[in-house]
Amino acid sequence: MDQLALMKVVAEKAVDENVKSNSVIALGTGRTASFAVKRVGQLLKEGKLENITAISTSVQTFELIKELNIPYISIDDAMSSNLSIEVAIDGADAVDPNLNLIKGAGGALFREFLVEQYAKEFVVIVDESKMCTDLLSHCKVPIEVVNFGHLSTCKLVYNTLKEHIAEWSVRKGADGSTFITDNGNVIMDVKFSGGDVDTLHRKINEVCPFSCVSTTILSFEL
């Protein structure tokens, strides 16, 4: 089985085992998460799921939800109606044995973090290619930064953590222009050469709490 087929199997299994009728769910962003969204749509169409309402974590996921005729509610409407998010399902870029995650390669890290933190259960879909022993050496860490003055923010992050940073860049789109998130922000991708995950996460959020919107290094307990 190739990697794409494996991701589809895992995503569908995550939906089959964790999404129940009569619930509000959050659906993630990216190729792996899209398989989960499509599975929800399929099960609704077949009548195997009923009364599901979905919250999206990006414009991309919202468009897929609409295409599949999955009932939708915004995070604000869900919160104002005191609705509970029973489960959030999403992918990840890297996972270590301690269940630390890096997310954000798809560019939706702030919305993913904002929505998924309210879920009663967070299901992460990964295959073996995303498993690693050293999280920081496996892939770059994305930091979503407010667009205005973003280079000064990036410089501040670098100067604060430069002893741990091997390289960094402002993310570009396919056309070579600066990548802009759904919130109008930019992403600083950082390759760390070492350091403790928890300490680096804390320092990034301390150094500029207003201009660094989000950095998605997440920690979970078994």
Degrees to nearest 5, angle at CA 22 with 19 and 23: 55
Number of helices (H), then strands (E), belonging to the chain: the values are 8, 11
Which residues are known to be catalytic?
Answer: 112
> Could you tell me which of 31, 54, 56 has the C-alpha nearest to residue 182?
56
Q: Are 47 and 21 in contact (CB under 8 A)?
A: no
Phi and psi for 47 in degrees, rounded to 5? 80, 10
Contact criterion met (CB below 8 Å) for 94 and 67: no
Specify whether the CB–CB gap between 62 and 97 falls below 8 A: no
Cβ–Cβ under 8 Å, residues 215 and 204: yes
Q: Cβ(109)–Cβ(149) under 8 Å?
A: no
| Closest C-alpha to 128, from 63, 209, 214, 32 | 32
The candidate with the shortest Cα–Cα distance to 55, out of 125, 45, 219, 80, is 80
Secondary structure letter of residue 210 according to DSSP: T
